[in-house]
Amino acid sequence: MRSIFKASAAALLSTSMLAGAAFAQDLSGTLRIISDMSNPAPRATMEQLAADFDALHPNLEVELEIVDREAWKTQIRNALTANAPDVVNWYAANRMTPYVNAGLFEDISDMYANGDLPGLDAVKGAMTLDGKQWGVPYTYYQWGIYYREDIFNELGLEEPMTFEQELANCEKIVASGRACYAIGTKFLWTAGGWFDYLNMRTNGFDFHMQLARGEVEWTDPRVRETFANWRKIIDMGGYIADHQSYSWQEALKFMTDGEAASYLIGNFAVPHLREAGLSDEQIDFYQFPKIADVPQGEDAPTDTFHIPANASNKEAARAFLQYVTSAEVQSDINGGDKLGQLPVNANSSVDADEFLEQGFEMLSTNAQGGVAQFFDRDFPAEMASVGMEGLQEFMVFPDNLDDILQRMEDARQRIY
Amino acid sequence: MTVMADTPKPVKPRGWYKRNEIAITPFLFLLPAVIFFSVYVIIPIFQSFWISFHEWDGLGEKTWVGTANYERLLGGDRKFEVSFWNNLRWLFLYLLAIPLGLSIALLLNQKVRGIRLYKSMFFFPFVLSQVVVGLVFSWFYLPREGLLNAILQFFGMGTVNILGDPSLATYGIIAAGLWPQTAYCMILYLTGLNAVDPEQVEAARLDGAKGLRMLWHVILPQLKPATFIAFVVTIIGALRSFDFIAVMTNGGPFGSTRVLSFYMFEESLSEFGFRMGYGAAIAVVLFFLMLIFIAYFLWSMYRDEKGAR
């Protein structure tokens, strides 16, 4: 009884304090953050973020530990259970499920409810499981087709609006001795992006989500239609050869060398393309074209901050989440010289960057279908791993489709 | 004790430890090893057995599912079948390291200027980390830029994407694994060859033995201990072939290069894993497979020692 009283008193204290002055000066103790932002630019951003927050609160000491992004995907389990830090990085949607179910993430629905997090209404859905919110997003990015503008000009091609135009373009690109699309499927997930888009365009966003929730059979004729559309690209030689041997970074070379004209990928590929020497006149972006007459759904994976349930300084952690998601900080950290992605706060400004502006425009006006996270975040983990393996196989041996779908269907029946 | 017999006062008897010192001390010396071996090896083995009867994500509560994991595993899990056959491929092809190592050892077992340098060059791949070897081989096999395809094209043959072809990928990885393993077997045989009795060789030579007959009837019998160790390390190496697969193909393309240890890792500890029960069931199956070999080795070692006595 006493502990309940203490907990609620503490909660009351912290919320009233946060609501009063946005960044209260009287936070004290240590705030331990473990972040997975290990790539150079994100790392610098995260270090800056921690230092700024530290400077804002003289009595608070911020301890930042940055972990390799891939390693963190398995380390988080230990981190959350033993000697938990106060703030951790993770991903939105289904990827939160194991930790929410095990009670390892702090429920922060109250922060959304009492207005501590203004401007986050649009992204709240991605943080919601079981009707509660379990963390805050700090960045997201669009997916779409990045293409070589100079090759398109040379061949006299336009940005396609429909799948027919897309295929017609592709035919001309293939005829010029290039591949239409670079892709590296060695680590499987890139194939998930293609499936997401083809399925959302063929059958709509809602159907795609039903499939993700396991409500539709993989052998359903509608799913087959998606694969039939996919096969059109495969059969015309649209993809680079031997893509199963490359990572997505290795496949970028095909695009920078001009051997492939475009790449369906997230905005995180843009800095790499620029570094490889392509100017902004040479690269451009278009939304994945329409196939059927359904509202367009988009993939826009969201990265997040969470408070572990076993954190010791939750008060400071909550203040940090509030700080990270505030409009100014969001505009700042997502700028082109930092993360180079989209801010999650509706009141933030998008950096003046060709791709960020187009992506923001697309997601805010032209994604009426809905915004998905990504194949490996929307589908449960086991379904995602069986599924992506099947998708890769389909891209290499499209004739095995029946077998692949049967395997995925068997997995679906077992998993859900 | 008898010295004290005539003194009137009864002496304080010696402590329990003092009286049993001879019997106990060996156990005391063994104790630290036994404790650590049980905590880190024996107990986890039984924990694996226990976990394999549950469904568990590593975080929440375990749910008892009886033998369901084993039924699924052995009742037509295709990934398991692929992994199992790949394990057999590894076992048989990896043994090629033994004759290869022997022939290199025979080649290098001569007194030539600079032979030590050659020996260390041949031993070099074993010093490299398996991860590095795997990485170098995956570059060697690259579909366009790789050295292998450059060589094939030089001789006017078509290119081949070994690691991207499900029917070739496993063999490609085994070939990479053979490189350091051959070096290992070579070093075992080189030390073995030092112990070959020159008088026997001389005697055989007088009797007119040379070439293969000399090798088969005189040298090889004397190399039996080296051959035995080479078998043991190669078979165990084949069964724990994990690093190469993780580095070179990550189990792909479409899971065709998985082996049991990799499948176990994928199910229980990888990014999309955390099905601890199922992973533990795979571990148990792998454990029994290894046990067949280990039991055989232990038995033959025991037999040899008994024969030696």
Q: What pLDDT is attached to residue A12?
A: 43
Domain annotation covers residue A355: no
> Which parts of chain A have pLDDT scores under 50?
1-24
Q: How many domains in chain A?
A: 2
Chain A residues with beta carbon closer than 8 angstroms to that of B144: 242
Q: What pLDDT is attached to residue B272?
A: 82
Mutate to test the interface with B, among A70, A245, A406 (most CBs of B within 10 A): A245
- Are A17 and A113 part of one and the same domain? yes
- Are A310 and A243 part of one and the same domain? no
Chain B residues with beta carbon closer than 8 angstroms to that of A393: 253-254
Report the residue of chain B nearest A377, measured CA to CA.
Answer: B272
Phi, psi of B89 (to 5 degrees): -60, -45
The angle subtended at Cα A159 by Cα A155 and Cα A165, nearest 5°, is 85
Per-residue pLDDT of chain B (309 residues; tens, 9 = 90+): 455 555 556 677 788 888 888 888 999 999 999 999 999 999 999 999 999 999 988 887 889 998 999 999 998 888 999 999 999 999 999 999 999 999 999 999 888 888 889 888 988 888 899 999 999 999 999 888 889 999 998 898 888 888 989 999 999 999 999 999 999 999 999 999 988 888 888 898 888 888 888 888 888 888 988 998 899 899 888 887 899 999 998 887 888 999 999 999 999 888 887 889 999 999 999 999 888 888 888 888 888 888 766
Range of the domain at B185: 77-308
Domain annotation covers residue B41: no
| CATH classification of the domain holding A378 | 3.40.190.10
ipTM reported for the complex, 2 dp: 0.81
DSSP code string of A196-260: HHHHHHHH-HHHHHHHHTT-S-TT-HHHHHHHHHHHHHHHTT-BPTTGGG--HHHHHHHHHTTSE
- Are A178 and A279 part of one and the same domain? yes
- Are A131 and A267 part of one and the same domain? no
Report the residue of chain A nearest B161, measured CA to CA.
Answer: A242
| CATH classification of the domain holding B250 | 1.10.3720.10
Report the residue of chain B nearest A69, measured CA to CA.
Answer: B271
- Are A273 and A332 part of one and the same domain? no
Q: How many domains in chain B?
A: 1
Q: What pLDDT is attached to residue B7?
A: 54
Domain annotation covers residue B65: no
- Are A181 and A110 part of one and the same domain? no
Domain annotation covers residue A21: yes
Chain B residues with beta carbon closer than 8 angstroms to that of A188: 252
Chain B residues with beta carbon closer than 8 angstroms to that of A242: 143-144, 161, 164
Domain annotation covers residue A356: no
Mutate to test the interface with A, among B272, B276, B278 (most CBs of A within 10 A): B272
Domain annotation covers residue B209: yes
- Are A392 and A252 part of one and the same domain? yes
A389 touching chain B per CB within 8 A: yes
- Are A15 and A154 part of one and the same domain? no
Q: What pLDDT is attached to residue A2?
A: 44
- Are A404 and A326 part of one and the same domain? no
Range of the domain at A305: 2-139+301-348
Residue length, chain A?
Answer: 416
Chain B residues with beta carbon closer than 8 angstroms to that of A384: 272
Q: What are the angstrom distances between the C-alpha of A340 and each of A91, A263, A356, B267? A: 18, 19, 8, 35
Domain annotation covers residue B237: yes
- Are A74 and A130 part of one and the same domain? yes
**Alpha-carbon distance A412 to B17, whole Å?**
64
Q: What pLDDT is attached to residue A10?
A: 46
**Alpha-carbon distance A239 to A220, whole Å?**
26
- Are A306 and A401 part of one and the same domain? no
Domain annotation covers residue B53: no
Residue A160 near residue A213, CB atoms below 8 Å: no
Residue A342 near residue A350, CB atoms below 8 Å: yes
Q: What is the CA radius of gyration of chain A?
A: 22
- Are A99 and A149 part of one and the same domain? no
Inter-chain CB proximity B143 and A188 less than 8 Å = no
Q: A270-273: long-range contacts (C-beta < 8 A, 24 or more apart)?
A: A270/A146, A270/A340, A270/A355, A271/A41, A271/A340, A273/A146
Domain annotation covers residue A373: yes
A73 touching chain B per CB within 8 A: yes
Size of interface A-B (CB pairs under 8 A): 65
Q: What pLDDT is attached to residue B6?
A: 55
Q: What pLDDT is attached to residue B298?
A: 85
**Alpha-carbon distance B130 to A4, whole Å?**
54
